[in-house]
Amino acid sequence: MLSFIGRRKNETGNSRLAGFVSGYSIEVMPRTAEKIEDFRTLLPGGTRIYVAHIEGTPIDDMVATAKRLSRDGFEVMPHFPARIIKDKATLEDWVRRYRDEAGIAQALVLAGGVAKPVGDFESSMQLLESGIFEKYGFKRLHVGGHPEGNKDIDPDGSTKQVDAALAWKQAFAERNGIEMAIATQFAFDVKPVIAWAERIAANGVTLPIHVGAAGPAKLQTLIKFAMACGVGPSMKVLQKRATDVTKLMLPYEPTDVLTNLADYKASHPESLISQVHFFPLGGIRTNAEWANRQIEAVKAA
């Protein structure tokens, strides 16, 4: 009887995880997308694919990647990092090209991880208030979220400015009929994610949260990216794992963190946390195959 109860509990947990992972989005770059011959054999049809725009990537490569993925039936969401966009004319050129050449009308608008802006823009709010996205019919605009803080916006460690920015973005979306969601930085500890989600909800934010999660990868790779991206409390999780010799050589998988988020969502259905956005730090194929296995395992049970 006890083994049956344990099995049923595990099946429930697996179902929650599968339900939470189902409908995931994933991030690629032009150079990583080139390594995948056919995304249609790897990702569920209609998957939202974010195309990250790293400083130095030619816009031609960005548009070509977006066009390819859009043609194959995916929901493509290119990045618009404010600090690498020279001026309003450049912004308009990019938006127009995505629409006209790739048939895209959605974007992730963010400040970008560049310390010094290359031109006129410093924040995602400046991009939004330019009026360019509305001019070209972009009706879905996602914005960045930082559960573990953002020192670029609030260098003193407070959340005053970042909270005000979120409130402004929500008001902008409501005012302009924009479908908006928050895509967060990846984390390895659910506690700061849940605390942040509850705090912004208490402040009146109603935007759905697409929680960032690192896909399966080597521990050394995760630590490198975590340090580069400014992940805070989550680093303790990685550091603890690094001291455990039984886990040191095993690849990290996001099973525990996503299971915990799925359980939280099941017990708090009103939460803004809505789905998973993957950063495939260990490779697109590895990440997609892991996510698909979680979903298919429950279907086959």
Q: How far from 136 is each of 64, 94, 127, 225, CA to CA, in Å?
A: 19, 11, 13, 34
Per-residue pLDDT band for 148 (boundaries 50, 70, 90) equals confident
**CA 228 – CA 121 distance, rounded (Å):** 22
pLDDT digits (tens, 9 = 90+) for 75-94: 999 999 999 999 999 999 99
Domain 20-300 falls in which CATH fold?
TIM Barrel (3.20.20)
Q: What is the Cα–Cα distance from 19 to 276, expressed in whole angstroms?
A: 10
Q: Please, which pLDDT band fits residue 259 given cuts at 50, 70 and 90?
A: very high
3-state per-residue secondary structure call for 142-154: EEEECCCCCCCCC
Whether the per-residue pLDDT at 30 is higher than 70: the answer is yes
Name which residue leads in pLDDT, 59 or 237.
Answer: 59
CA-wise closest residue to 94 among 39, 123, 135: 135
Task: Tell me how far CA of residue 232 lies from CA of 43, 54, 271, in angstroms.
Answer: 31, 22, 23
3-class DSSP assignment, residue 115: coil
243, HSE (Cβ side, Cα atoms, 13 Å): 5
**H or E element at residue 27:** strand 25-28
Q: Where are the beta strands (DSSP E) in 40-139?
A: 48-51, 75-81, 106-110
The mean pLDDT of the chain is 87
pLDDT tens digits, one per residue of 93-138: 999 999 999 999 999 999 987 889 999 999 999 999 999 999 999 9
